[in-house]
Structure 1
Amino acid sequence: MKIKLLVIFNLLLISSLHVMSQPAINSAAVEKVWAQYNKYKEPAITNRFMKHAQMMPLIQKHVDSKFVSRDEIGKSVRDRSINHLIAGRGKTKVMLWSQMHGDESTATMALFDMFNFLSAKDDNEGLRNLILDNLELHFVPMLNPDGAQAWKRRNDLEIDINRDARMQVTPEGRALMELAKKLQPQIGFNLHDQNYLYSSGRSKNSATISFLAPAYNYPKDMNDVRKRATQIILSMNKALQTKSPGNVAKYNDDFDPRCFGDTFQGMGISTILIESGGYYQDPEKQFIRKLNFLALLNAFESIATASYEKEDLKDYDLIPENDNSLYDLFIKNVTISKEGHEFKTYLGINRTQIRNPDNSGMTYSGRIAELGDQELMFGYDEIDATGLKFTPARIKTMTRAEWDKLSPNQELDLIKGGYLFVKWSDSKSPVGAVKNRLLSLTNNKESPVEEAGIGQSAHFLLTRDGKPVYAVVNGYKVDLGQPAKVLSNTYGY
């Protein structure tokens, strides 16, 4: 009996020594990488409009370095390659796919930052080896390359790939399903973008990152597969709350058998949806890209150490749900004169995104989206216009050469004088976006905006006793008490 006890004791001792010999990785290691993020950020990706042709050399860089192996798992409708990249030597298989909606690229950017971190040789080797020794990582960046090329949600058959899990009409959807069946990963990450006007609950906090552990049936039961996805989400949420508190939400979990996340959950793959929304003054989603990197790094660490198993499922209920409570600009208590009536009201203003002809960027057109009492609505920017009156702006006539010579300070002075539009006296001005100005252009004799109305262009002044205090230029707030600062774009009419 003593011999048996001694053997058991020795086995336990060896086991404990083995555990102790593993790298002591915790949130401090992840925090250190976060602080050094800029050295891993892929410099070739400067905005969210990367195309397949720009992505392929980045993939090849990591293939050539032997960090990843690559195989082609299919072709898009337009014959662009769908790439499967493999890294790591662990037992737990994790599959990640991004940009199944072509105009949702934030996570794709973050994946290439992650490749740079995982392939580096530096003082973060402990965390890196922990991940690569314990996980076998499978990446499918840019599942919908045709959609990315045209900067559109759907593929070139005009089908939403994420609603094609059941019928599998799309070649892109078939490629993803066949890979999942072949690999049978334990964990999957479904990486998307969502409307930037979503809020975290009914609040002014944008839903910068939203999570979902999809349901696998209509009753929305919680089995061990879905439980694991939920616990990993809770681990990521804790990390994100330290960097962007209040900006995390969760998606509605109604079951949809057409969706890949719901389907994979039912196949036994613990699937996590990550949606990248909006963040103040981050139109190119570069800070949100960094948050994606952090969320995935934290997830990899928690999966490698199984630390997510300590998370309490009840905490998932505490994450606010997405809510549509935000405007680009929200103006409260503004006095408006209209149809012979003067009244105080609220204005909600949004800036529509307009694709450049080559799908390489966006310009913006601001319009009044709502007028009236709006309880519990908020804005990325807000103006309390108590005591201020909606006032149409005037048109300044000048030559094109005079326009070209205007400095931002001179433009701001004209706005303080009641002008928001310039009409050229010697030629016709362009129609559409006007870059890096404060004033807009017009070919009309009268102001394009005479009164507040839903759908009306958002160019007007907020005045006190006839003196401008704020200007709204193409849906952007301009505080006339602040130094001049040009806008992303004004507009020509």
Structure 2
Amino acid sequence: MIRSNSLLLCALLLTMFQAAMCQVDLKSVDQVWDHYERYKETVITNRFLKHSDVVSLINKHTASGLFISEEIGQSVRGRSINHLTIGTGKTKVLLWSQMHGDESTATMALFDLFNFLAADDEHNDLRKLILGNLELHIVPMLNPDGAQQWKRRNDIEIDVNRDARMLVTPEGRALMSLAKKIQPEIGFNLHDQSTLYAAGRNENTATISFLAPAYDYPKSMNEVRKRATQLILTMNKALQTKVPGKIAKYDDAFDPRCFGDTFQGMGISTILVESGGYYADPEKQFIRKLNFYALLNAFVSIAEKTYASQKLADYQAIPENSRSLYDVLVRNVSINKEGIQFRTNLGIVRSQIKGPDSGSMSYNGRIEELGDVELTHGYDEIEASGLTFTPGNIKLMRKREWEALSPQQELDLIRTGYLFVKWTDGTSPSGPLNGRLLNLTNKKNNTIQTASIGQQAQFLLSRDGKPVYALLNGYVLDLTKDVTTVPNVFGY
């Protein structure tokens, strides 16, 4: 009896010690969040990564001797597809990013994680835990041709993520061959999604969305998919402390073409991570940090197997992605359309326009919805009761006068009803214009006279004939404030 009690006490103490260690580790991850700027890869300043950037950073890390790198294939255009390995643990984890070329948020975060894993500071115990228990396999840019042109598909216009069965693409073949070769226990499929998704039917952006893909049409739950779901719950719990209410999940309808669904069926517990939107974060630099934090939490949970305590029922409580956001929502505005006066709502969306080098972005704001917008919201919202949709006027001036305008002078002109400038001594350029508030036009009259679906969002909201707000290319200017910049306006 004494021996039995002693063994029970030892087991209890061991359990308490392991729990205490887990608490220390989780606390350490939060401290890493606080120290994130130490590890943020400074070479990466925006989301327009190119293959040459990735190769240069890979060379930096392999030169340290901590990472092993190999080429597992080449893209359609002959760009290398690189696979990095770090860690000596028994649990193999595969992460791949940018299989869609214009989805780079997680790619940025992976290089931040590389910097963390290569560092030497007070978080060494956390590194030891991860690298001693996991063998990490990372493909940071699966579709380098798509990244080069900032487009979703590869260079023969096939969606690599939907090539898991036919394996037509060299990129898809490279990933499948790697997975079969290393036989990972867990996989992370890292993507970006539209910034216009909400976490449920509310105003909360779906900043990060997850999915434990199904592996069959009945959407069965085996141990492999269960583990993926429990890891999502672990990451969700961590992220809720940083962006509460802004985590969503995807519909889990089975798609046999997709790598996540296919890998789940192959016995790889696969987690889809989608980076969505966050207010005033167009380059997704804060969401990059969230990816870093979520993956670090996942690594710790895998190393300690603490994910196993998560209850599957909690997954149902994560709200589903809902396409219910606009960039701007104008509520209850008065509009005169063909002599008919009515009050309604305007939903405005800003589409992206690639720069000539696919390394920058301009925006084109248009009216996407006119009417009832129940259960939809906007990143920016204007309550326009008492306000009237008002077309902007055209200011005539010489080119050099326009060039000499200060931001304050442009703002003052907008406050008096002008949204456009026409040069009287030349033809002005067309397309996106940076660093200005007033649009340029070569037309005598403003063609934007009322609100119409597809119409560019260049108008004023007035009270008693006086402009209160300006919508410049889909960006809101509160004319009671001294706002002097928008990302871009337009030349027509």
Superposition TM-score tier, normalisation by shorter sequence:
over 0.9
* 2:282 partner letter: P
Task: Determine the structure 2 residue equivalent to 1:383.
Answer: 382
CA-CA distance at 1:26 after TM superposition: 3.0
CA-CA distance at 1:405 after TM superposition: 1.8
Task: Determine the structure 2 residue equivalent to 1:76.
Answer: 75
Which runs of at least 4 in structure 1 moved beyond 4 Å after TM superposition?
4-24
Task: Determine the structure 2 residue equivalent to 1:41.
Answer: 40
Aligned mates of 2:31, 2:447 — CA distance in 1 = 53
Mapped contact 1:408–1:484 kept (Cα < 8 A):
no
CA-CA distance at 1:308 after TM superposition: 1.1
Any unmatched runs of 5+ in structure 1? Answer: none
Aligned mates of 1:20, 1:455 — CA distance in 2 = 57
Aligned mates of 1:187, 1:34 — CA distance in 2 = 24
Mapped contact 1:198–1:207 kept (Cα < 8 A):
yes
Task: Determine the structure 1 residue equivalent to 2:138.
Answer: 139
CA-CA distance at 1:25 after TM superposition: 3.4
Q: Which moved more, 1:114-123 or 1:435-444?
A: 435-444
CA-CA distance at 1:18 after TM superposition: 9.1
Task: Determine the structure 1 residue equivalent to 2:353.
Answer: 354
CA-CA distance at 1:484 after TM superposition: 2.3
Cα displacement string for residues 363-384 of structure 1 (whole angstroms, at most 9, x for unaligned residues): 1111111111121111111101
Task: Determine the structure 2 residue equivalent to 1:55.
Answer: 54
Secondary structure at the counterpart of residue 25 of structure 1: helix
Inter-CA distance 396–229: structure 2 relative to 1 (3 Å threshold) = same
Aligned mates of 1:90, 1:310 — CA distance in 2 = 22
CA-CA distance at 1:451 after TM superposition: 1.2
Q: Which moved more, 1:194-203 or 1:9-18?
A: 9-18
Any unmatched runs of 5+ in structure 2? Answer: none
Secondary structure at the counterpart of residue 24 of structure 2: coil
Task: Determine the structure 2 residue equivalent to 1:177.
Answer: 176
* 1:409 partner letter: Q
Aligned mates of 2:12, 2:333 — CA distance in 1 = 73
Secondary structure at the counterpart of residue 380 of structure 1: strand
Secondary structure at the counterpart of residue 291 of structure 1: helix
Task: Determine the structure 2 residue equivalent to 1:65.
Answer: 64
Aligned mates of 1:94, 1:24 — CA distance in 2 = 23
Aligned mates of 2:378, 2:479 — CA distance in 1 = 19
Task: Determine the structure 2 residue equivalent to 1:215.
Answer: 214
How many residues are paired up?
492
1:97 aligns with 2:96: yes
Cα displacement string for residues 209-228 of structure 1 (whole angstroms, at most 9, x for unaligned residues): 00000001111011111111
Aligned mates of 2:92, 2:132 — CA distance in 1 = 12
CA-CA distance at 1:7 after TM superposition: 11
Task: Determine the structure 2 residue equivalent to 1:153.
Answer: 152
Q: TM-score, normalised by structure 2?
A: 0.97
Secondary structure at the counterpart of residue 397 of structure 1: strand
Q: Which moved more, 1:242-251 or 1:107-116?
A: 242-251
CA-CA distance at 1:6 after TM superposition: 11
Secondary structure at the counterpart of residue 426 of structure 2: coil
CA-CA distance at 1:128 after TM superposition: 1.3
CA-CA distance at 1:485 after TM superposition: 2.4
Task: Determine the structure 2 residue equivalent to 1:394.
Answer: 393
Q: Which moved more, 1:194-203 or 1:23-32?
A: 23-32
Task: Determine the structure 1 residue equivalent to 2:167.
Answer: 168
Q: TM-score, normalised by structure 1?
A: 0.96
Secondary structure at the counterpart of residue 33 of structure 1: helix
Cα displacement string for residues 18-68 of structure 1 (whole angstroms, at most 9, x for unaligned residues): 959968633211110001111100000111111001111100000000120
Aligned mates of 1:403, 1:370 — CA distance in 2 = 34
CA-CA distance at 1:425 after TM superposition: 1.7
Q: How does 1:178-217 map to 2 (within 5 A)?
A: 178-217=177-216
Aligned mates of 1:448, 1:298 — CA distance in 2 = 53
Secondary structure at the counterpart of residue 85 of structure 1: strand
Secondary structure at the counterpart of residue 294 of structure 1: helix
Secondary structure at the counterpart of residue 288 of structure 1: helix
Secondary structure at the counterpart of residue 26 of structure 1: helix
Secondary structure at the counterpart of residue 344 of structure 2: strand
